[in-house]
Amino acid sequence: MPVMLPTVLRNLFGGPATRMYPVQVREPFAGARGQIEFNDDKCILCGNCEKRCPAAAIEINKDKNELVFYPARCIVCFVCAEACNKEAIIEVDKWRTPYYTKPVEVHTAKAKKDKAKENKVE
Amino acid sequence: MAPRTVAPFGPQHPVLPEPIQLKITYENEKVVDVVPALGYGHRGIEKACELNEYPKNIHLVERICGICSCIHGISYCETVERLWPLEVPPRAKYLRVIYSEMSRLHSHLLWLGLLCDALGFESMFMQFWRIREKVLDILEATSGHRVTQSISVVGGVRRDIDAEQEKTCIKVLQEVKKEAESLINVLASDPTVKARTVGKGVLTKEQAILLGINGPHLRASGVKEDSRMLGAQAYSELGFEPIVETAGDCYARALVRAREALQSIELQLEAFSKMPEGEIFERPKGRPPANEVTYRAEQPRGECFYYAKGNGTQHLERFRVRTPTFANIPSLLVMLPGCELADVPVIVLSIDPCISCTER
Ligand code: SF4
Ligand code: SF4
């Protein structure tokens, strides 16, 4: 028992090791892998992210000019963000809050559309 | 003759975080026979690895195990790199060692906590997990995630540790070392812990070699054998010496893991001091060529064996993992018969079973 005394005393006078979650939430570390967000203005539907995603969480529908993202499948590896040359995928350090139904995000690629329009004008 | 009773131990049991069943036959509280039953957690990861393109598998093999996830990812990359063969930049090698040792440290702290829990030493269990949290925090701050670090890619690592992070890591590691030393001191000298572990579940050196046991379990039986001695990654430059105990009982296994946890802090500090500057990633050229390779990695639980066969495409033709617990389960059939029923949880825990690894 005497060998444990320093630990006991430290715990007696130190504060608790836990936090009053969810009232007190620790700020995520810079660079923590929380979730991804899409910047539709920059996406050109090149398909790099869809090809690299290990969890098949991104689907690209070129006919409809859409990028469909399934957050419930995403394992937040940030491979897509590293693969995107247009910086259309933003790495966010805050994680998603839990959900009751699996969300599906449909993004319309604006950069691509503009280009299509331009082509038509020409 | 006293009547014999057969009782199932698991698949759901307080000391088992994962499902394995041991059918235990006992006679007057003495165990006479054990039959393990496996297969509750099979997920078909090896087959899935053949269907996936090879870079995507890193994220899949990391999910073989929740604790050695980082080392699984690193070892998969090391295996696939050997297909070319590919040389990773020196700094990446050091970073891989640092991340591997960090996982070993948190895994051993977790195990020491679980051992205390199995012995009913609840307060100590919390103390070990409390310091483990610091290690997980530095893992999250550097790699981005506390459990599935996804740090390694074929050709190097994804994130560098900058000077400021390095300073924080060293500071935290020194703190952890000081606290872990004092806790391990308590654990190693506590009379109740000794009464429950010394002389329990003895596995002799000869039996250990005969059964092909590996990892800390083997080293606790007096065999100097560790895959890190092969010097892969940067281990050859760090002067690594395996830790060996000779008694072969539960106490010896606890001591080996406790000393390895401290050694792993030393290795990290040394790796930080020797780490060269430079690139951390080199893009592999082309696809993995048609070739066959094997690789041995030392995980917290023991030696993990990898086999990969490439066929010149983006897919691997065959990928195989033999995990440490798979090799360590047979030792239970030797250690359990003859012991008291009350000692079964401690002896089962002393091999550090990881069932999701075993069944993949
Ligand atoms: S998000 Fe980036 S990688 Fe994905 S389709 Fe758009 S531009 Fe290409
Ligand atoms: S973070 Fe990973 S899993 Fe999620 S969409 Fe991007 S590549 Fe897919």
CA distance B33 to chain A (A): 38
CA of A83 to the centre of ligand 1 (A): 8
Q: Look-up: residue for tokens 């592999």?
A: B284
Out of A3, A55, A76, closest to residue B185 by CB: A3
Q: Which residue range is the domain that position B277 belongs to? A: 4-359
Tell me if B83 sits within 8 A of B308, measured CB to CB: yes
Question: Which parts of A1-122 are beta strand (E)?
Answer: 35-38, 58-61, 66-69, 89-92, 105-108
| CATH of residue B231 | 1.10.645.10
Q: What is the pLDDT of residue A120?
A: 47
Q: For residues B73 and B76, give the distance between their C-alpha atoms in angstroms, rounded to a whole number.
A: 5
A43: which 2 tokens? 């996406």
Number of domains in chain B: 1
Q: For residues A96 and A75, give the distance between their C-alpha atoms in angstroms, rounded to a whole number.
A: 12
Give chain B's mean pLDDT: 86
- Asked whether the ipTM of the predicted complex exceeds the cut of 0.90, the reply is no
**What are the pLDDT digits (tens) for B39-90?**
888 888 888 888 888 888 888 888 888 888 888 999 999 898 888 888 888 8
Q: What are the structural domains, with CATH classification, of chain A?
A: 28-121 (3.30.70.3270)
Out of A11, A17, A33, closest to residue B144 by CB: A33
CA distance A79 to chain B (A): 9
Cβ neighbours of A68 (radius 10 Å): 15
- Mean predicted confidence (pLDDT) in B189-214: 86
Q: Which atom of ligand 1 is nearest to the CA of A67?
A: 5
- Mean predicted confidence (pLDDT) in B312-322: 86
Q: What is the pLDDT of residue A22?
A: 85
